[in-house]
């Protein structure tokens, strides 16, 4: 069975600083990988996805992620964080024919200091 590990439960950065959120997955085949963001009391919004092809994927709001098969990682990055990026971020892996049946990590809460 697949699994996802987000090693950092809580990260604090200053506005304008760069950001990297870590994600490691375990899956026997080529994974479908996703990053979602969740604001308090809200649903999940997709930031970006990796299905195949170029291992560096661009998403919304200036986020990008790099798939590294050798490290089983899919880390999320942003060069300059804005206060509005404060939220909880979830990495997820999809399996099989359905891209909606996902296994999520525990999440990383991002706090942004002014």
User: Could you give the CA distance from residue 69 to residue 59 in angstroms, rounded to a whole number?
Assistant: 19
The torsion angles phi and psi of 10, rounded to 5 degrees, stand at: -145, 130
Collapsed DSSP state (helix, strand, coil) of residue 30:
coil
Query: Of 39 and 80, which CB lies nearer to other proteins in the complex structure?
Result: 39
Instruction: Single out the residue of 1, 54, 101, 114 in contact with other proteins (rule: CB under 8 A).
Output: 101
The torsion angles phi and psi of 34, rounded to 5 degrees, stand at: -140, 150
Residue 36 as a binder of other proteins (CB under 8 A): the answer is: yes
Query: Of 61 and 79, which CB lies nearer to other proteins in the complex structure?
Result: 61
Considering only residues 59-88, where is the footprint of other proteins by CB under 8 A?
none
User: Could you give the CA distance from residue 22 to residue 8 in angstroms, rounded to a whole number?
Assistant: 7
Give residues in contact with other proteins (CB under 8 A): 4, 34, 36, 41-46, 49, 90, 92, 97-107
């Amino acid at each position: 069975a697949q699994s996802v590990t987000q090693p950092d439960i809580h990260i604090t950065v200053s506005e304008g600083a760069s950001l990297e959120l870590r994600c490691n997955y375990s899956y026997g085949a080529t994974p479908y990988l996703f990053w979602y963001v969740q604001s308090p009391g809200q649903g999940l919004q997709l930031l970006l996805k990796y299905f195949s092809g170029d291992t560096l994927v661009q998403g919304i709001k200036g986020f990008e992620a790099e798939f590294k098969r050798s490290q089983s990682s899919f880390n999320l990055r942003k060069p300059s964080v804005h206060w509005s990026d404060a939220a909880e971020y979830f990495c997820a892996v999809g399996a099989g024919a359905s891209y909606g049946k996902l296994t999520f990590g525990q999440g990383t809460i991002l706090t942004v200091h002014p």
